[in-house]
């Protein structure tokens, strides 16, 4: 259905845009702001700016490899 | 090959720019070290955005859907489809069937009887 497609597309675009703006603020703008500004309350410590993407990337890679391994095992079982 | 060269040269240029930024220390070093991760994350976000926009703009072709439903609901279409499959399979395996028939004849002439299937 067209409406459901558009809703899903809108949701995905908004999620990606929000992640991009939050991350840009976090990494680029925040280090130039004084450390006693109120905005620092809304952002996690800067160490997490590295940890979170690396963790997400590692999770993605491991999920992919698990999926590929399962597909390979299934195809081998079918052949045998 | 040209594409690979283009992408590699872009990568080399970006890394050279990054190293220059690190050495020049215009911006604090800890800040500059975060740039590659930032670009990777922004690339992922850009990909997601393009996928979202593509999903929003995907056309559903309602007229063609109606036509297709109409065609598929006709029983004659289904029957002709099945008959075509059968004839197609028969033509594919006709050589095999002929070989089986010839083998049967040969073996029966030599005294071995293979029952009909």
Q: Do A7 and A39 belong together in one domain?
A: yes
Asked if A2's CB is within 8 angstroms of B49's CB, the reply is no
Mutation to test the B interface, candidates A6, A7, A10, A12, most B Cβ within 10 Å: A12
Judged against a pLDDT cut of 90, whether residue A17 lies above it is answered with yes
User: Chain B residues with CB inside 8 Å of A20's CB?
Assistant: 41-42, 45-46, 49
Alpha carbon B86 to chain centroid, angstroms: 28
Are A49 and A35 in the same domain?
A: no
Predicted confidence band of residue A61 (pLDDT cuts 50, 70, 90): very high
Among B40, B45, B58, beta carbon nearest to A20:
B45
Which chain B residue has its CA at the smallest distance from A6's CA? B56
Please determine, for residue A59, whether its predicted confidence score (pLDDT) is greater than 80: yes
Interface residue B45 vs chain A (CB under 8 A): yes
Length of chain B: 117
Looking at this predicted complex, what is its ipTM?
Answer: 0.78
pLDDT the model gives residue A41: 81
User: Quick one: A75 and A62 in the same domain?
Assistant: yes
| Closest residue by Cα to residue A11 from B62, A19, A64 | A19
The whole-chain average pLDDT of chain B stands at 82
Instruction: Evaluate if residue A18 carries a pLDDT over 90.
Output: yes
A21 and A31 belong to one structural domain:
yes
Number of domains in chain A: 2
Residues A1 and A37 in one domain: yes
Check whether residue A37 and residue A50 sit in a common domain.
no
φ, ψ (nearest 5 deg) of residue B2: -65, -40
A23 and A36 housed in the same domain: yes
Residues A4 and A38 grouped into a single domain: yes
Percent of chain B beyond pLDDT 70? 91
pLDDT in tens, B71-117: 777 777 666 777 777 777 777 777 777 888 888 888 888 877 776 65
Please state, for a pLDDT cut of 90, what percent of chain B lies above it: 20
Instruction: Look at residue B77 in the predicted model and tell me its pLDDT.
Output: 66
Phi, psi dihedral angles at A35 (to 5 degrees): -70, -15
Same-domain pairing of A38 and A59: no
Residue B7 confidence (pLDDT): 93
pTM comes to 0.61
Chain A 37-56, CB below 8 Å of chain B: which residues?
A: 49-50, 53-54
> Quick one: A48 and A36 in the same domain?
no
- Residue A19 in contact with residue B45, Cβ under 8 Å? yes
| Residue A35 domain boundaries | 1-43
């Amino acid at each position: 259905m067209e409406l459901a497609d558009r809703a899903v597309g809108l949701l995905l675009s908004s999620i990606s845009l929000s992640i991009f703006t939050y991350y840009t603020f976090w990494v680029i703008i925040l280090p130039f702001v004084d450390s006693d500004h109120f905005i620092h309350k809304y952002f996690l410590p800067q160490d997490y700016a590295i940890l979170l993407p690396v963790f997400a990337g590692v999770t993605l890679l491991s999920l992919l490899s698990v999926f590929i391994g399962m597909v390979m095992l299934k195809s081998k079982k079918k052949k045998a | 090959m040209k594409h690979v060269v283009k992408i590699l040269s872009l990568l080399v240029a970006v890394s050279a720019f990054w190293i220059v930024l690190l050495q020049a220390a215009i911006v604090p070093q800890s800040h500059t070290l975060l740039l590659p991760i930032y670009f990777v994350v922004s690339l992922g976000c850009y990909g997601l955005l393009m996928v979202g926009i593509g999903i929003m703009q995907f056309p559903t072709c309602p007229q063609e859907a109606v036509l297709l439903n109409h065609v598929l609901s006709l029983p004659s279409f289904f029957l002709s489809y099945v008959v075509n499959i059968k004839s197609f399979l028969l033509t594919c395996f006709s050589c095999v069937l002929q070989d089986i028939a010839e083998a049967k004849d040969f073996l029966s002439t030599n005294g071995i009887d293979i029952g009909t299937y």
